[in-house]
Amino acid sequence: MNEDSVLLIDKPDGITSFGVVARVRRRLSEQLGKKAKVGHTGTLDPFATGLMIIVTGKECRNAMQYSKLDKEYEATIRLGVTSSTGDPEGELTAVSDTQPGHAAIEAALDQFRGEITQRPPMFSAIKINGRRAYDLARKGEVVEIPERQVTIYSLELLDYMYPDIRIRVHVSSGTYIRSLAEDIGKVLGTGAYCVALRRTKVGKWSVEGAEAIDR
């Protein structure tokens, strides 16, 4: 492993992005015989899997360039229920047992193609007055995160078998798939949350070229 590198890691579920960085830093520090400088270029939620671009050494100064790249995800959205965090880790609340047809699903997805306004989740790594939003939310503090403009370049329905919708989506940097899932649920009137998420591409890089973290 080079001291100044761009590493492609296939993040498993159940570990934070900071946990991935810590493992790489430990391994690289052992190889170099000194403390290595390691950073990431965009977080993935603990329940999510897929491509993380890790930068080391002098390459850390370019981290922002990588974080601004478009991203592609495959996600499973579960209808009929909402989550306090927008993912499987939150408190779940049943909303509706209505089962939309394929035409209704396609019509709902069509509303989210192109440039849209989106509000990031309360449980996110966004900083508010220097503090992470998820830290504030966990303490029960009211978190008001401003809406933002994001772009959904493509949104493809891969499969639908109630209550789960599987999609592939190509988005601009800063887009939250958990928020997209919740907004789709609102349009359908069923409620929804993101039950599975995998990042498959960042810019020109694909998860197919990434290494498992244990390697």
Tens-digit pLDDT profile for residues 175-206? 999 999 999 999 999 999 999 999 999 999 99
- Domains in the chain: boundaries: 6-67, 71-202
Residues 177/197, Cβ–Cβ less than 8 Å: yes
Q: Cβ of 130: how many Cβ atoms within 10 Å?
A: 5
Task: Show Cβ contacts of residue 95 under 8 Å, excluding neighbours closer than 6 positions.
Answer: 80, 81, 82, 185, 190, 191
Q: Which of 108, 81, 86, 83 is nearest to 96 (CA)?
A: 81
Active-site residues, by number, are 45
Buried b (16+ CB within 10 A) or exposed e, 74-97: bbbbbbbbbbebbbbebeeeebbe
Q: Which amino acid is at 3?
A: E
Residues 173/142, Cβ–Cβ less than 8 Å: no
Which residues of the chain register pLDDT less than 50?
Answer: none
| pLDDT at residue 142 in the model | 65
Residues 213/23, Cβ–Cβ less than 8 Å: yes
| pLDDT at residue 122 in the model | 67
| pLDDT at residue 5 in the model | 86
Tens-digit pLDDT profile for residues 30-48? 888 889 899 888 889 899 9
* Partners of 194 in the β-ladder: 77
33: exposed, middle or buried (C-beta count within 10 Å: 0-12, 13-18, 19+)? exposed
| pLDDT at residue 42 in the model | 83
| pLDDT at residue 151 in the model | 97
Superfamily covering domain 71-202: Pseudouridine synthase (3.30.2350.10)
Give the 3-state secondary structure of residue 96.
coil
